[in-house]
Structure 1
Amino acid sequence: MLYRRFEKLIDIFKDAPTPAPPNTVFAFYMYYLRQVWPTFLALLVVGLIGALIEVSLFNYLSRIIDLAQTTPPKDFFSVHGPELIWMVVVALLLRPIFVGLHDLLVHQTISPGMTNLIRWQNHSYVLKQSVNFFQNDFAGRIAQRIMQTGNSLRDSAVQSVDALWHVLIYAISAMVLFAEADWRLMIPLGTWIVAFILSLMYFVPRVKQRSVESSDARSRLMGRIVDGYTNITTLKLFAHTNHEQQYAREAMRDQTEKSQLAGRVVTSMDTTITTMNGVLIVTTTGLALWLWTQSMISVGAIALATGLVIRIVNMSGWIMWVVNGIFENIGTVQDGLESISQPVTVNDQPGALPLKIENGGVRFDGVDFHYGNGNGIIHNLNLDIKPGEKIGLIGPSGAGKSTLVNLLLRMYDVQGGRILIDGQDISEITQESLRAQIGMITQDTSLLHRSIRENLLYGNPDATDEQLWESIRKARAEEFIPQLSDSEGRTGFDAHVGERGVKLSGDIELFARYAKAPVIAITGSNAKSTVTTLVGEMAVAAGKRVAVGGNLGTPALDLLSDDVELYVMELSSFQLETTDQLNAEVATVLNISEDHMDRYSGLPAYHLAKHRIFRGARQVVVNRQDALSRPLIGEGLPCWTFGLNKPDFHGFGLREENGEKYLAFQFENLMPVRELKVRGAHNQANALAALALGHAVGLPFDAMLASLREFTGLEHRCQWLREHDGVHYYNDSKATNVGAALAAIEGLGSDIDGKLVLIAGGDGKGADFSALRAPVAEHCRAAVLLGRDAELIAQALGDAVTLVRVDTVQAAVEQSARLAQRGDAVLLSPACASLDMFKNYEERGRVFAQAVECLS
């Protein structure tokens, strides 16, 4: 068929001419246009002929009028028959043929073919990027750029040929026809062309700028409205309807003003072009009539001049918007280059050979690696793994266990040394052959948005049904897979996972399904490890067979046992994301403050993830002084509260009698605060939270209070180290976010007679440090700052206290010792993660403790 011939003119799956696309806009355009140049050359030729045919029709009209005036009616067809037949052929045969050819080239060849050629080559190139490339950008944005860049490049190229080329030929042809009639007819059109070009140069950039500003304002307005609708439960809970209306009103006012400014430019442009068009019509028609009165042109020439001018006028507005669209598409292509034209950082070497496995020995030979920040995660590592040997990598979070595996898979290239498999340097073999020989089970539960069968067979698409079922039986999945179904009615192996498909469970929900004993579920931005450990010790003191873990210590599924009487689980927001129904006996969100803002879109998204802990809970524990900790669901459930104020009914809090402060339940004093071995208001809050959770599951007060009297706190969590020259030193290295640092500053600062010297800084993970200013001004004498985000913290603190910048923890301790006075305390509470300088917060805390010990 004719359609099929045109649809096959471009091979969308052809190999790219070079390994990487260019990184400049012009070169990027030429890179793809050169691959389809025959099609665009054909489009240029067809466009040229089509424009000439359009102009010739006006010339034929002029010619017919002149012939009718000079030829007797009875002789008209006999004399001019052949010429009239040619006109009919042009209008009824040639014009449809070339319009059809034009449409076939655009709609059957270029539109699907060139667009998907660009997408295919860009997608193929981006797939070669390292894991680091995808970790540093949003997957959705990368995909959108690949999809939109093909559209925009095609549209701008076709528009340039289709519109600008067409109009150029049209204008030149009109000038030639005017010159043939009388050269003076060229003057109005030539003047108009110059004025039109100047108008384009003036208005198009301004329309583009104002349109972008209006679009940005519209996006902000949409974001605020969607934010309110998405978190409607929170909005209703806090009765902030008026506040939300004002929040949206500000964005709506800004969007209206930006839209009005954009409208002004459009109105000015339309008015200017309309005025110019009117002048062109009047001057051309008037000049043509005057020339006719002087017997210098014929009546047909008047019809030709006025017809062509009106046609050009009708095209002028269209051309203005086409040019604006071309610039917008070029901008989209330029934006796409930020992702598409990035150089691949992990490449196969020229002539790289496939990996040949003989024994399977692995050797790390003097390996150095860091994530581009200059501080070694792995330094001079030498490790020999013998063929068939089984090893375990043990270490705290951030120690480099996953990094080591990723280096073996060559997800990253080492900065020093080499990795050998059977004596073959993995940098000299192909990546595909390397990864095909290594089996790996990842920690996250993410699956491809495809069928269960496609996911299971992804590692070996050629596996037989027998091999598939053998794997399923080994994973003990043969019972639940046939029961799966998705929203479109597909079942079993054909059911699709993903956003609109089957919702698969994470390890915490699987744990909840099989746990027979009651579960205490604990989360929060800060103090969850301390409270979890403390509740576990209370349960042991009460004689319970207890299992403590989750995000702390032992993984959830490893805790399952028929002998356990009580589970105490610390849960992170990451674990809760894949937990639909936890069904805890009692659940709590201790507090909410900004954390992991590099993962979540904002505090509302983080808040919703945390609050999944309450789903199915039989009782809840709530922080009276943190409104965001109150559950959004479960109204009417038994609720126990805690806080540093006086307790209410069903509440734990602080009471004061005769100058003595007590931990209290409702109206009963339980124990003096001074008997706690851990200091600070935040530790008092932790003790009250643990009491509330333990009471909810029936732990006796005697056992819980005995545990509190013996609890010395967790390492690196506001841990007292020593006293030197009347100054106390505290290690709170586990304060990896602003909320944790605030708790330590306010808790310890209000509990000592002197002031604090704060040591802070590191990798802030995109946090807002402004909340530190007020408590630092109140409780601190000075702040010693270090690490990557030291300057951001300094900007947030401003002139609140004396600021000192250092490069190392050792220097920070020395400066703090000079700044502190007797009765003060030096507090390491960084408000940041440690990975810009250390393996983890534990190493940071140990270095701090060693530096404090060396003070003399």
Structure 2
Amino acid sequence: MLGSLFKKFEDVVEFGAHELHLSSNVSPLYILLMFLHPFRRIIIASATTGMILAGFELAKLWAVSYLVDAVAYSKGVHLPAGTLLTFGIIIASYALLDPVIWLVHYMLRMQSLTSQTRASAQWQSHKAATRHDLAYFNTTHAGQIAGRIGQIAGSVQAGAELLAGRFPVGFIRFVGSVILVSYLAPLFLLPVIIWIVLNGMFAIWLVPHFNVQTQKVAETASMVNGSITEYFSNIRAIKTSFAYAIENAYVLTAIRKQNFNNLEINRLTTFTGLAIRILNTGLVAVVLALGIHGLNAQTVSVGEFVAGVTLASGMATDAGWFVAIWEGLTQTLGVIKDAQGVIDPHPKIVDKNVVPGRFQTPPLIEFSDVSFSYDDRMPVLNRVNLEIRPGEKIGIVGPSGAGKSTMIDLLLRLYDVSSGAIKIDGTNVKSVSLARLRNTFGVVSQGDALFHRSITENISFGVESFTAEEIVNAADMADAAQFINDLKSGGCTSGYDVVVGERGAKLSGGQQQRILLARAFLQKRPILILDEATSALDSNSESLVQQAIAAYSTGTTVIAVAHRLATIKDFDRIVVLNGGTVVGMGNHQDLITNNSLYKRLWEKQ
């Protein structure tokens, strides 16, 4: 029964349906509220039940004060029948309702909020971060992005806890305590008010100092996460170069900075604890002194004395509430502000004025006076004109930095052209939806890496439905079937079930490229792009793969970027780039005869 109750509270909100979309120039508080918007009703319910529980605690103090006075000033305790009935109803109601309300309150906080808000924030942040343009990921460390997403998730979780529990419960305790003190023991009201004012002033002074240190801790934590991620992402290079000392020193420097900032914030925490302790001790001491004086002067009853001391002690115990609430809110907002750039993308590559329709298979591709530069200063491509006819095999060659891969990136619309236009079947790629555009291409790039998943999962990446036979056929076309069948891993795992390791670390470069080629063959898209896709293959494998490409590409357009010209010498046309400009075009024999740059490139093979 309890298990089904847990499930009901855990399933109140399905966080997978949440998605964060922010307007320009929004505040961190607005972002926090947007993260928590799907949980608003749960937060209100949790806060309400928490305040009811806090009210119960205050009511108990009032009842104890009443009974103490009744005992202290009566020779025998003879309460009127009506009073006894009232207390009996109150006690019975308390005994029945308190556990039920506590269970509802705790389940709302733990089952419906604590883990769910964190998961929701992680998912929403991840989805928001994916909308950045490729240029953002080229300049931002992946480990730092992951670290920021984790920090945001923790802050949103803390914000939910603050709004659903700590703030409303603490607020009722303090306000209720002040009201009870003023009603039961007015003599203690002045020191309580002075204590509250001093705590508030201390919180206002402390929080800005705390926020500065918190931001430093967040920044250095992101640095540490990024440096450790980078270290293990490049562990092969570190081991082969035996660069442990240099790279470990780099990581240690980041950890030392983080530790220094942690020590600084710990100093501030210790000072805070001491200051709160002094204020609390002062409040309890003053209340005790006034209470004893009042008892001696008979201006305070025993019940009022007990209530006043109990309330003061309780307030002192919860004294950190002032600082914790203020500090928690500002720290949460500070982390969100610091990481706002990750979750508030402003992509330039978006669907806009999309023209509906379908491409012919395969479509016509046109580069019309295309120019491009990454920084608006040095052009990478300059007035490139090229028409790729349906089903044609086109090779793109040239020295390093000529703009070959940039042409592919522009065709895939990973970047937008600076001037000119790229058209597919006469439609500017800017007017084609990104999903429709990129689903037209199967891409194999030298820079692509495998996922830390099985061979089957890597080959089937981007394909929604497939059969085991299709996976094997694609691997066979890519000359990968034999080595896949020979693979073995720990336990009983072998063949297509073997996990390839981080970025395919368990496979050779040639094996990785063949898996990527098998993926492209399985996708069966009308345009196949090969960007140095066979550079790591030996001569025999490259020959087999070239035969497979020739057989596969019947009715498919093939665009291949290559430094090894033998890969594309039999293509229909070869485009020669130099300095971002087309300096030659034709078949292999024409270019050998008429293009000096191509001839030099060929002779260097």
> Are the structure 2 counterparts of residues 403 and 261 from structure 1 closer, same or farther at C-alpha, using a change threshold of 3 Å?
closer
2:500 is paired with a residue whose SS is coil
Contact 1:366–1:381, Cα closer than 8 Å, also in 2: yes
1:346 counterpart residue number: 349
Contact 2:413–2:429, Cα closer than 8 Å, also in 1: yes
1:424 counterpart residue number: 427
1:299 counterpart residue number: 302
TM-score by length of 2: 0.75
Count of aligned pairs: 516
Aligned equivalents of 2:65 and 2:352: distance in 1? 69
For residue 508 of structure 2, the aligned residue among 505, 508, 522 is 505
Deviation digits for residues 764-806 of structure 1 (CA, Å, limit 9, x no counterpart): xxxxxxxxxxxxxxxxxxxxxxxxxxxxxxxxxxxxxxxxxxx
Aligned equivalents of 1:510 and 1:364: distance in 2? 28
Gaps spanning 5+ residues in structure 2: where? Answer: 515-531, 542-578, 582-605
How far has the Cα of 1:162 moved from its partner? 1.8
1:123 counterpart residue number: 126
2:394 is paired with a residue whose SS is coil
Contact 2:352–2:431, Cα closer than 8 Å, also in 1: yes
Matches within 5 A, 1:734-813: none
Matches within 5 A, 1:577-596: none
Task: Work out whether 1:26 is the aligned partner of 2:29.
Answer: yes
Aligned equivalents of 2:360 and 2:88: distance in 1? 79
Matches within 5 A, 1:404-423: 404-423=407-426
Task: Work out whether 1:471 is the aligned partner of 2:474.
Answer: yes
For residue 330 of structure 1, the aligned residue among 333, 338, 341 is 333
Task: Work out whether 1:287 is the aligned partner of 2:287.
Answer: no
Matches within 5 A, 1:44-443: 44-70=47-73, 73=76, 75-76=78-79, 80-89=83-92, 91-210=94-213, 262-317=265-320, 320-321=323-324, 323-350=326-353, 352-353=355-356, 355-358=358-361, 360-443=363-446
Q: Aligned partner of 2:313: which letter?
A: I
Which structure shows the bigger proportion of residues in helix conformation?
2
Contact 1:164–1:319, Cα closer than 8 Å, also in 2: no
How far has the Cα of 1:137 moved from its partner? 1.1
Gaps spanning 5+ residues in structure 1: where? Answer: 512-551, 562-837, 841-856
> Are the structure 2 counterparts of residues 556 and 140 from structure 1 closer, same or farther at C-alpha, using a change threshold of 3 Å?
closer
Q: Aligned partner of 1:272: which letter?
A: A
For residue 447 of structure 2, the aligned residue among 433, 444, 447 is 444
Matches within 5 A, 1:682-761: none
1:440 is paired with a residue whose SS is strand
Q: Aligned partner of 2:155: which letter?
A: S
Aligned equivalents of 1:143 and 1:252: distance in 2? 18
How far has the Cα of 1:396 moved from its partner? 1.1
Aligned equivalents of 1:403 and 1:143: distance in 2? 28
Q: Aligned partner of 1:187: which letter?
A: L
> Are the structure 2 counterparts of residues 56 and 431 from structure 1 closer, same or farther at C-alpha, using a change threshold of 3 Å?
same
Larger RCO (CA under 8 A, 6+ residues apart): 2
Aligned equivalents of 2:255 and 2:46: distance in 1? 45
Contact 2:450–2:504, Cα closer than 8 Å, also in 1: no
How far has the Cα of 1:207 moved from its partner? 4.0
Deviation digits for residues 87-135 of structure 1 (CA, Å, limit 9, x no counterpart): 4235433222222222111111112333222322332232233222221
Aligned equivalents of 1:104 and 1:282: distance in 2? 38
> Are the structure 2 counterparts of residues 91 and 490 from structure 1 closer, same or farther at C-alpha, using a change threshold of 3 Å?
farther
> Are the structure 2 counterparts of residues 839 and 108 from structure 1 closer, same or farther at C-alpha, using a change threshold of 3 Å?
same
> Are the structure 2 counterparts of residues 21 and 7 from structure 1 closer, same or farther at C-alpha, using a change threshold of 3 Å?
farther
Deviation digits for residues 172-206 of structure 1 (CA, Å, limit 9, x no counterpart): 11111112124332111111011001111223333
Deviation digits for residues 634-655 of structure 1 (CA, Å, limit 9, x no counterpart): xxxxxxxxxxxxxxxxxxxxxx
Deviation digits for residues 54-105 of structure 1 (CA, Å, limit 9, x no counterpart): 2222222212212323556463495643233244235433222222222111
How far has the Cα of 1:168 moved from its partner? 1.7
> Are the structure 2 counterparts of residues 328 and 497 from structure 1 closer, same or farther at C-alpha, using a change threshold of 3 Å?
farther
Contact 1:182–1:296, Cα closer than 8 Å, also in 2: no
How far has the Cα of 1:273 moved from its partner? 1.4
1:446 is paired with a residue whose SS is coil
How far has the Cα of 1:151 moved from its partner? 2.3
How far has the Cα of 1:39 moved from its partner? 1.6
Task: Work out whether 1:490 is the aligned partner of 2:457.
Answer: no
Q: Aligned partner of 1:135: which letter?
A: N
Aligned equivalents of 2:86 and 2:320: distance in 1? 35
> Are the structure 2 counterparts of residues 373 and 253 from structure 1 closer, same or farther at C-alpha, using a change threshold of 3 Å?
closer
2:443 is paired with a residue whose SS is coil
Aligned equivalents of 2:261 and 2:460: distance in 1? 52
Contact 2:446–2:535, Cα closer than 8 Å, also in 1: no
> Are the structure 2 counterparts of residues 5 and 394 from structure 1 closer, same or farther at C-alpha, using a change threshold of 3 Å?
same
Aligned equivalents of 1:442 and 1:250: distance in 2? 35
How far has the Cα of 1:12 moved from its partner? 1.1
For residue 14 of structure 1, the aligned residue among 9, 12, 17 is 17
TM-score by length of 1: 0.54
> Are the structure 2 counterparts of residues 74 and 391 from structure 1 closer, same or farther at C-alpha, using a change threshold of 3 Å?
closer
Q: Aligned partner of 2:7: which letter?
A: R
Aligned equivalents of 2:255 and 2:384: distance in 1? 58
1:480 is paired with a residue whose SS is helix
Aligned equivalents of 2:129 and 2:468: distance in 1? 33
Contact 2:288–2:309, Cα closer than 8 Å, also in 1: yes
Q: Aligned partner of 2:198: which letter?
A: A
Aligned equivalents of 1:285 and 1:255: distance in 2? 45
Aligned equivalents of 1:37 and 1:236: distance in 2? 52
